[in-house]
A and B are shown apart, each in its own frame.
Chain A
Amino acid sequence: MAAPIDIRRFTGFRALTILCLVVLYAPLVIVAIYSFNDSTSITRWGGLSFKWYFDVFSGPEAPKFRAAAINSFTIALGAATCATTIATAAAVAMHRTGRFRGKTASLALINLPLMVPEIVTAVASLIFFISIGFKTGVMTIFIAHLVFCIPFAYLPISARMQSIPDSYEQAAMDLYATPWEAFRLVLLPLMVPGILSGFLLAFIISLDDFLITNFVKGAGIETLPTAIFGSVKQGVKPNIMAISTLLLGVSVVLVTLSWFVGRAGQSKR
C-alpha cells in the first residue's frame, strides 16, 4: 500500500532550512572557534588557547576596549531603561485609555524609527546635533539610542498588554482600588514578563548599534562596535575575534533570557 501523500511536505524544504541555518550560524561558529586559536596567523590552527582573551583584557589595546565597553554598557542600560518606561506609558495609552486625538499618529510615531533607514537617521541626527550646537559625545549617543530603542521595547510590552484583559483592572477598581492602585497592584505585576522582555531587546539593540553611533559619537568617544570597526579596517585580528565572541555571548544570553521570560509569562496565564 502506498503511503498517503503528505500535503505539508515538499521535497527539499528540509534541506533548504538546514542550509538557512548553516548560512546563519557558520560565520559565528567559525569566528568563535578561531578566537581560541593559539597561532597569530588567523587561518592556521595552532592549538587551543585563551591568549586572545587575555589580550583583550590586559593587552596593549585593553584600555581602549575597556573604555568602549563601559560606554557601551552604560548607554545601553540608560537607553533601555528610559525607552522601556516611555514604551510602557505609550502601551497603556494605546491599550487602556480608549480613543483620544492623535492616537493613530502616535502609533505611527512609535514605529517611525523602524521605517526610516538607519543611514538616514544617522545623517539626520548628526546634522541636528551640530546645528543646535549640541556637543557630540556620550550624551548624543544616549539620546539617539533612546529614540531607536523605543519601538523595540514597545513591541513585546504592547503585545503583552493586549493579551491581558482589562477585567483584572476592572475587578480591582470594583474592589475600591483607585486607577493608580489598579495599575500598580494589578496591571504592572502582570506586565513584568513583557516589560523585562522589552527592556532586554532594547538593551541588545543599543549594544549592537554601529551606524548611528558612528555618526553622533564625536571624536575620541568609542563604543564597542565603533572600536571594533576601527580595528577591522586594518584587518581582522585574533583579539577582535575574541571580543566579538564575548559580545556574541552577551547577546545570545540576553536574547535567550528574554525568550524564556516571555514564555514563562505566557504559560502562567
Chain B
Amino acid sequence: MNRTDIAIDIDRVVNRYDSVTALHDVSMDIREGEFFTLLGPSGCGKTTLLRCIAGFEDVTEGAIRLRGEDIAPLPPHKRPVNTVFQQYALFPHMTVLENVCFGLRRRGWTEMDAEGRAREVLDLVRLGDFAKRRPTQLSGGQQQRVALARSLAPNPEVLLLDEPLSALDLKLRQAVRVELKQIQRETGIAFVFVTHDQEEALTMSDRIAVMSEGYVQQIGTPRDIYEAPQNRFVADFIGETNLLDVEVSAVSGGMPDLTLPGGMALRCPAADSARAGRGHLSVRPERISVAAAAEDTLPATVVDHVYLGTDIHLHAKLSDGEPILVRIQNAESSAIPATGSMLGLRIEAGAARLLVD
C-alpha cells in the first residue's frame, strides 16, 4: 500500500502503558492536504494517537509512516510534524515573535530569516501587530492563533491539533472554525484534528475517524458518518438517534427485510455486516414523520413534548413500551399532538439503517 497521496499511514498501532492498552491495532491513512478529524469521547484514545504521531507517547506495536518513512522510533524533535497544544503551551517568558521563531531557529534558520518567516505567518493569522507582546497579554482567541502560527511557521508536513478550540467560549469557537478551515485550505497542509465535539468534527472535516475505547469505530466523510453509521456506538455518539430492536428475516442485495416492534415491515439500507436475526434499527428523530394511525405506520402513544423553539421534541412510546423520539419542525401549521393521543409514525426506507453491534 504505497499510494503517493498518503501523508501519514498509521499501521496497526498499539499503545500500552502499564497494563492499560490505550490503542488497539489502530490503522488509518491520512491523505495529503486533508482535514482529518479524530472524534470520540474522552478516554477513547484520540489524544493518545495524536501524541503517538507527535512522538510524546510510545508506539508499543505497529508503525507510523510519514510519506513512507517509519517515524515511530524518532524522538519528537526529529519529526517534521508540529502540534497545536490544547492549552497552547505558549512560552510565557518569550514574546509572540520569539515564540513563532523558536522552531525555525532550532531548524537552523538565521535570526533574520526566521523573523521574516515569523512575520509572514503572523500576518496569515492576522496578528502582525502583536509580535512584541507577551502571550499573557493576549486574549484566548489571539493566543490560539499564536499557537497556530508557531506550529505552521516551520512548514510541517502535517499539523496536529489537540482540541485547540476547547479553551475558547462558544461564540469565538464558531468563528475560529471557519478561519481554521480557511487557513488549512490556503496552506494545503494536512491537519489532524482531535475533538470530542461532533458538531466541530462534522462542520470542519474532510474525513472523520470515530474512536471509542481505543478502537477505531468508523472512518468516513461527515455525511457517511452521520447518515450511514456502521455500528450502534457511531449512530448513538453522532447526533441523536432512536435505536429500535428489530427482527431481520432475510438480507438480499445488502438490503435486509425486517419487522418493527409493532409488526410493521420495512426494507432499508444496512451496515456491511448485517445478517438475519435480531438487530438494531437506527432512525434519526428528524427523519420520522407524524401521520394519523394507519396500516403502514408505526403506532405510538405520545408521552410528553419539549418545546425547543425551531423544533418540537415528541417523546412517544411504541406498542411494546419502547420509547421513541420524534423531532417535528415548528411550522405554523403543525399542531402539537396532545399527551396520551395515538399517532402513526412513518419511517421512509432511506431514512433508517440496520446496525450490528
Complex: A in contact with B (CB within 8 Å): yes
CB < 8 Å: which of A173, A177, A182, A269 contacts B92?
Answer: A269
CB distance from A38 to the nearest CB of B (A): 52
Residues in B whose Cβ lies below 8 Å from that of A190: 92-93
CB distance from B205 to the nearest CB of A (A): 23
Q: A165-B89, A168-B89 are in contact. Are A174 and B76 (CB under 8 A)?
A: yes
Contact check, B87 vs A176: say whether CB atoms are below 8 A apart: no
Of the listed residues B86, B103, B106, the one surrounded by the most CB atoms of chain A closer than 10 A to its CB is B106
Contact with A along B71-90 (1 / 0, CB 8 A): 00001111001110111011
A contacts with B, residue count (CB < 8 A): 21
CB distance from A183 to the nearest CB of B (A): 12
Q: Which residue of B lies closest to A168 (CB)?
A: B89
Residues in B whose Cβ lies below 8 Å from that of A171: 83, 85, 89-91, 150
Contact check, A174 vs B151: say whether CB atoms are below 8 A apart: yes
* Bound Cα distance A268, B316 (Å): 56
Q: A190-B93, A269-B92 are in contact. Are A175 and B151 (CB under 8 A)?
A: yes
Contact check, B54 vs A175: say whether CB atoms are below 8 A apart: no
* Contact size range, B: 20 to 34
Q: Which residue of B lies closest to A169 (CB)?
A: B89
Residues in A whose Cβ lies below 8 Å from that of B150: 171, 175
Contact check, B87 vs A174: say whether CB atoms are below 8 A apart: no
CB < 8 Å: which of A175, A178, A181, A189 contacts B154?
Answer: A175
Contact with A along B148-169 (1 / 0, CB 8 A): 0011001000000000000000
Of the listed residues B55, B75, B77, the one surrounded by the most CB atoms of chain A closer than 10 A to its CB is B77
Does A172 have its Cβ within 8 Å of any Cβ on chain B? yes
Residues in A whose Cβ lies below 8 Å from that of B90: 171
Residues in B whose Cβ lies below 8 Å from that of A172: 91, 102
Q: A173-B77, A174-B83, A175-B102 are in contact. Are A168 and B154 (CB under 8 A)?
A: no
Task: Count how many pairs of residues, one from A and one from B, have CB atoms less than 8 Å apart in the complex.
Answer: 65
Contact check, A176 vs B89: say whether CB atoms are below 8 A apart: no
CB distance from A168 to the nearest CB of B (A): 5
CB distance from B146 to the nearest CB of A (A): 12
Residues in A whose Cβ lies below 8 Å from that of B107: 176
Residues in A whose Cβ lies below 8 Å from that of B76: 170, 173-174
Q: A170-B56, A175-B154 are in contact. Are A181 and B106 (CB under 8 A)?
A: yes
Q: A174-B76, A176-B154 are in contact. Are A165 and B87 (CB under 8 A)?
A: yes
Contact check, B77 vs A178: say whether CB atoms are below 8 A apart: yes
Residues in A whose Cβ lies below 8 Å from that of B85: 167, 170-171
Does B289 have its Cβ within 8 Å of any Cβ on chain A? no
Contact check, A175 vs B103: say whether CB atoms are below 8 A apart: yes
Within 8 A of A (CB), among B55-72: 55-56
Contact check, A189 vs B106: say whether CB atoms are below 8 A apart: no
Q: A171-B89, A190-B92 are in contact. Are A177 and B56 (CB under 8 A)?
A: no
Does B136 have its Cβ within 8 Å of any Cβ on chain A? yes
Contact check, A173 vs B151: say whether CB atoms are below 8 A apart: no
* Bound Cα distance A174, B154 (Å): 11
Contact check, A186 vs B77: say whether CB atoms are below 8 A apart: no
* Bound Cα distance A9, B247 (Å): 69
Residues in B whose Cβ lies below 8 Å from that of A177: 77, 102, 106
Residues in A whose Cβ lies below 8 Å from that of B91: 168, 171-172, 186
Contact check, A176 vs B83: say whether CB atoms are below 8 A apart: no
Contact check, A176 vs B93: say whether CB atoms are below 8 A apart: no
Q: A174-B151, A175-B151 are in contact. Are A167 and B103 (CB under 8 A)?
A: no
CB < 8 Å: which of A167, A176, A268, A269 contacts B77?
Answer: A176
Known pairs A170-B56, A178-B77, A189-B93; list 16 more (Cβ under 8 Å).
A165-B87, A168-B91, A171-B85, A171-B90, A171-B150, A172-B102, A173-B76, A173-B77, A174-B83, A175-B102, A175-B106, A175-B150, A175-B151, A175-B154, A176-B77, A181-B106
- List the 7 closest A-B pairs by CB distance, nearest first: A175-B103, A176-B106, A171-B89, A167-B89, A173-B76, A173-B77, A189-B93
